[in-house]
């Protein structure tokens, strides 16, 4: 810069001129401050501009960050990405009805806020429920129509079971084989099983075949030990019979000798272990058929829930050789008891197995109406068999009517 006193060019931003020694710092420092202040002003202008642009973006309704209410009153926070993805708006996800039975998701099945399907899935639906309606206040998605099994009322099932008498011991379960939902009363209660032990045997055979430990053609030595309903008689004792034939005898005739032969072949503890490892913890096998004392330590036990879940696992294709087709081919009683009990008065295809004693009537039945296939497990004892069978028939008609009523 030029010295204001001597006129010579001196060094910028010095306090005094290097030629005349007179002070020149005021001008130099003023120029420096002007330079610094200008830069600050430019930066402030840029920052203010960015702030204005950001505010405009935040309050622009097209950005989706803050949206005005449709009526123009205030604004509401937009739903989060997670909430939008789940289809629930800004509300928490709804729970569906079903439980498992063991979760194969035994399986599964079916779910509600509690794991007890007897309270979750069995309430009577409201008349003419609205379809496609969305709650204006909660923003929830339309409620799905009830499944066929959820159309059953557990209280009605309890009323039917009470007609057996105050001393009746029972466990009842109904499971939708398409949706996996189920409804039951005392469904997890382990009850004296009688020939219902056939289902754990069948499940064990299916599991071992899939593990390549045996096949349907594996020969097993038949043992005739008690009276039975099957085609193999005392003269067949000691014969080597294919596993598939013994399973067929067990399912089509509820044959005690076929069942006892397979109990011995697989081993009671092995069957228990296979079932327990799959989550069917109610299974307890202590003795052969007709060798047990009901409701004692040497009895065999299972729950209706586990029975339904085993059938569901087989029906839904968990195993290759023993599957839905195998059930439909072989689980069909051949004697005159087929159309009694649960299947009495039902005018569609059914596939059932039953076991009877003086004070016991147990039955499991797959009902296929061509629309909603379902399975019913009915375990009862401690009351005269004829009375228990009549109750089974009443229950079967009620269940079928309610399932049929769902369009």
Supply the DSSP string of 128-163, one letter for each residue: S--SS---TTT-PPPPPPPPTGGGS-HHHHHHHHHT
Closest among 110, 342, 314 to 209, alpha carbons compared: 314
Q: Which fold has domain 149-404?
A: Beta-lactamase (3.40.710)
pLDDT of residue 126 exceeding 50: no
In this structure, of 48-52, 102-106, 187-191, the range with the lowest mean pLDDT score is: 102-106
- Comparison of pLDDT for 243 and 70, the residue scoring more: 243
> Who has greater pLDDT, 72 or 212?
212
Angle between helices 256-266 and 243-252 (to 10 degrees): 140
Q: Is the pLDDT of residue 379 over 80?
A: yes
Residue 88 has a pLDDT of: 38
pLDDT at 358 over 60: yes
Per-residue pLDDT, averaged over 285-308, amounts to 95
Kindly tell me if the per-residue pLDDT of 98 is higher than 60: no
Percentage helix, strand, coil, to 5, in the chain?
35, 15, 50
Residue 399 has pLDDT above 60, yes or no: yes
Mean pLDDT of the chain: 79
Residue 7 is classified by DSSP as -
Per residue in 127-176, pLDDT tens? 333 333 333 334 445 555 557 888 999 999 999 999 999 899 999 999 99
In contact, 3 and 20? CB cutoff 8 Å: yes
Matching residue, tokens 């009990």: 341
**Strand ranges in 230-348 using DSSP code E only, listed in sequence order:** 240-242, 301-302
- The pTM score is 0.66
In which residue ranges of the chain is CATH 3.40.710.10 found? 149-404
What would the pLDDT profile of 32-91 be if each residue is shown by its tens digit?
444 455 665 767 788 788 878 777 766 554 433 333 343 444 444 443 433 333 333 333
C-alpha angle 143/147/152, rounded to 5°?
A: 115
CB 79 within 8 A of CB 89: yes
pLDDT in the model for residue 19? 65
> Which residues face 64 on adjacent strands?
none
pLDDT at 315 over 80: yes
Q: Residue 89 CB: number of other CB atoms within 10 A?
A: 16
């Amino acid at each position: 810069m030029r010295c204001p006193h001597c006129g010579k060019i001196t060094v910028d931003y010095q306090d005094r001129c290097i030629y005349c020694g007179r002070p020149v710092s005021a001008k130099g420092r003023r120029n420096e401050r002007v330079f610094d202040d200008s830069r600050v002003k430019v930066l402030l202008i840029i920052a203010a501009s960015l702030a204005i642009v950001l505010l405009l973006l935040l309050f622009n309704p097209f950005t989706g960050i803050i949206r005005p209410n449709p009526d123009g009153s205030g604004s509401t926070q937009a739903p989060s990405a997670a909430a939008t993805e789940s289809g629930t708006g800004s509300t928490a996800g709804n729970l569906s009805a079903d439980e498992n039975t063991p979760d194969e998701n035994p399986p599964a099945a079916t779910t509600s806020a509690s794991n007890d399907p007897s309270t979750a899935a069995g309430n009577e639906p409201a008349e003419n429920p609205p379809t496609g309606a969305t709650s204006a206040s909660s923003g929830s998605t339309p409620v799905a129509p009830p499944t066929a099994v959820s159309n059953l009322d557990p209280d009605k099932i309890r009323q039917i079971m009470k007609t057996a008498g105050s001393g009746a011991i029972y466990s009842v379960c109904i499971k939708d084989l398409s949706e996996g939902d189920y409804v039951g009363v005392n469904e997890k209660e382990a009850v004296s099983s009688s020939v219902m032990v056939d289902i754990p045997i069948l499940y064990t055979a299916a599991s071992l075949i899939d593990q390549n430990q045996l096949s349907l053609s594996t020969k097993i030595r038949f043992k005739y030990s008690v009276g039975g309903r099957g085609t193999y008689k005392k003269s067949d004792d000691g014969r080597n019979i294919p596993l598939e034939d013994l399973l067929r005898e067990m399912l089509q005739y509820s044959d005690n000798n076929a069942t006892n032969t397979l109990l011995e072949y697989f081993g009671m503890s092995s069957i228990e272990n296979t079932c327990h490892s799959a989550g069917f913890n109610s299974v307890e096998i202590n003795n052969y058929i007709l060798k047990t004392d009901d409701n004692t330590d040497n009895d065999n036990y299972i729950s209706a829930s586990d029975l339904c879940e085993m059938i569901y696992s087989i029906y839904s294709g968990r195993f290759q050789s023993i599957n839905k087709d195998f059930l439909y081919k072989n689980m069909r009683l051949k004697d005159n008891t087929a159309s009694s009990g649960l299947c009495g008065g039902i005018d569609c295809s059914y596939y059932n197995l039953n076991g009877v004693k003086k004070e016991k009537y147990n039955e499991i039945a797959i009902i296929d109406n061509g629309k909603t296939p379902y399975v019913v497990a009915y375990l009862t004892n401690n009351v005269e068999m004829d009375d228990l069978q009549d109750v089974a028939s009443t229950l079967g008609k009620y269940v079928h009517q309610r399932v049929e009523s769902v369009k």
